[in-house]
Structure 1
Amino acid sequence: MRYQLELFFTALGFFTRIPVPGWVPYSPERLNHAARYFPWVGLVVGAAGAAVFWFARQWLPASLSVILSMAATIRLTGAFHEDGWADACDGLGGGWEKSQVLSIMKDSRIGSYGATGLVLMLLAKAAALVEIAAHGIPHAIVAMIVAHTLSRLASTSLIHTLSYVREDDTSKSKPLAKQLSSMELSIAGAGGLLPLLLLGPAEALGAVVAVLIVTAWAARLFVRRIGGYTGDCLGAVQQVSELATYLGILIAWNSI
């Protein structure tokens, strides 16, 4: 049990800026095994964002409450996944060959594709959450928690199914680049899927189908363009899947 707790804190320390206890050891091998708790970290991030939304909503309109909530989650994660999304947009948008795509992704500067993609992603998530919040505070809170866990499960699925394509040792995500065992995949799956119980059947189905579609599309795109995935690809899938969750819920409501 202590080992599992250490792995959870390892994942929490890697994917967020939350301080972890000093007694938690670190090694690349532990980080690899900590990937099973990626969706569980999403539960922490989603709950934090939901708490900020609930608190702000007591005095502010839904639109501002959503923006503050998103700002809180971005601060909590250090824009880790947003950066991956922007880099992926730059690399896949501006590069042609595999080496060129990977080189652009690794560049710390943001280009026109990345800037445009990041702005549109943030606007789309904010707009979707405002629409969900119009149905009531509880709906927005649940949507945030589900989206942050399910989207991280989508990213974890790429680790399990695709090949890591960077050959250098400087990537922060390289220690994660190993397939998960059945037990590890079960733990990740529980963290990503259990929050769906907070939704109604139609909303849960809409969210899952939407995430499956965008994850499968992204995986196919990554394999076709670069032969696998990078850390930026994981961040991109998390962002797209988070948005897909919100859209899936809205589509389910509009279809009833």
Structure 2
Amino acid sequence: MTDQTTPPHDAPAPRDILAALALLSRLPLPRTSEVRSGAAWAYPLAGVVLGALVAAAAGGMLLIGLPVSLAALIALAVAVILTGAMHEDGLADVADGFWGGWTRDRRLEIMRDSHIGTYGVTALALSLAARWQALVLILAAGQHWSALIAAAALSRAAMPAVMCALPHARADGLSHHVGRPPTSRAVAAAVIAVVLAVILLPITTALAASLMAALTTAGLAALARHKIGGQTGDVLGATQQLAEIAVLCAIVA
């Protein structure tokens, strides 16, 4: 099995930000058949846009007088709608596949199945509950702009790291189509996300959030290597979800 990588001459460009947003969201942006792994450096910048939209929704709900718990719920719904639940779908598929199959091939087969099982439902319920509770605490503290943008950026910087570190687990699918970014692009994404976190959050919180995201990403990458020998689009979606939860927990701790 060969991995698709970005050609050395394919330099970073401003259009990568739009490409990242088009790939990682359901925003009404021009779609292109050329999906470039080299745009992975811009994933955290796409996260900034998505995080700002979620924060704006949360702030708007508070302005019209909704209680914090409902504002947090609507903000969470907006976050899911903006991405078409693609990351949540990945988390559910990973939970079902990693714990529902006994062999690599069976796990990959389960992950491709459009049906959701008990493990997937449980993972989604717990992850949504964790994000909602964190959002409640963040909104109550009046930190939603900085916290949500930082969490969106750091969690999306986790995906290029896994894309770069692990081979493709299958010879098709979205992740294989996008390809593996060069190490420099994954490093650039991480640096951008950490810098944004340091700008937006108190330094100790920013470093703790970055560390939590890194540890969570490394743990899931190691698990994916053990379970299926690499990464898929579902693994990348699960990475984003778990990294976001880790960052939100670090912020509210």
TM exceeding 0.5: yes
> Which residue of the partner structure matches residue 19 of structure 1?
28
> Which residue of the partner structure matches residue 124 of structure 1?
130
Q: Match of 2:33, as an amino acid?
A: Y
Q: What root-mean-square deviation, in Å, do the aligned CA atoms of Structure 1 and Structure 2 show?
A: 1.8
- Kindly tell me: are residues 213 and 181 of structure 1, through their superposed partners in 2, closer, same or farther at Cα, counting changes over 3 Å? closer
2:230 aligns to what SS in structure 1? coil
Please say if 1:200 is aligned against 2:209: no
Q: Where in structure 2 are the equivalents of 1:53-68 lying within 5 Å?
A: 53-58=58-63, 59-68=65-74
Q: Match of 1:250, as an amino acid?
A: V
- Kindly tell me: are residues 45 and 35 of structure 1, through their superposed partners in 2, closer, same or farther at Cα, counting changes over 3 Å? same
Give the C-alpha shift of residue 190 in structure 1. Answer: 4.1
Give the C-alpha shift of residue 134 in structure 1. Answer: 2.3
Q: Match of 1:204, as an amino acid?
A: A
Q: TM-score, normalised by structure 2?
A: 0.90
1:9 to 18, 23, 26: 18
- Kindly tell me: are residues 52 and 100 of structure 1, through their superposed partners in 2, closer, same or farther at Cα, counting changes over 3 Å? same
Please say if 1:43 is aligned against 2:48: yes
Partner Cα distance (1:33, 1:174) in 2: 13
> Which residue of the partner structure matches residue 232 of structure 1?
234
1:114 to 112, 120, 124: 120
Partner Cα distance (2:138, 2:219) in 1: 25
Give the C-alpha shift of residue 132 in structure 1. Answer: 2.3
Give the C-alpha shift of residue 186 in structure 1. Answer: 4.7
> Which residue of the partner structure matches residue 191 of structure 1?
192
Percent identity of the aligned residues? 37
2:37 aligns to what SS in structure 1? helix
Please say if 1:146 is aligned against 2:177: no
* Contact 2:157–2:186 (Cα < 8 Å) also in 1: no
- Kindly tell me: are residues 212 and 187 of structure 1, through their superposed partners in 2, closer, same or farther at Cα, counting changes over 3 Å? closer
Q: TM-score, normalised by structure 1?
A: 0.89
Greater Cα shift, 152-161 or 173-182: 173-182
Partner Cα distance (2:183, 2:205) in 1: 30
Aligned residues: 241
* Contact 1:53–1:141 (Cα < 8 Å) also in 2: no
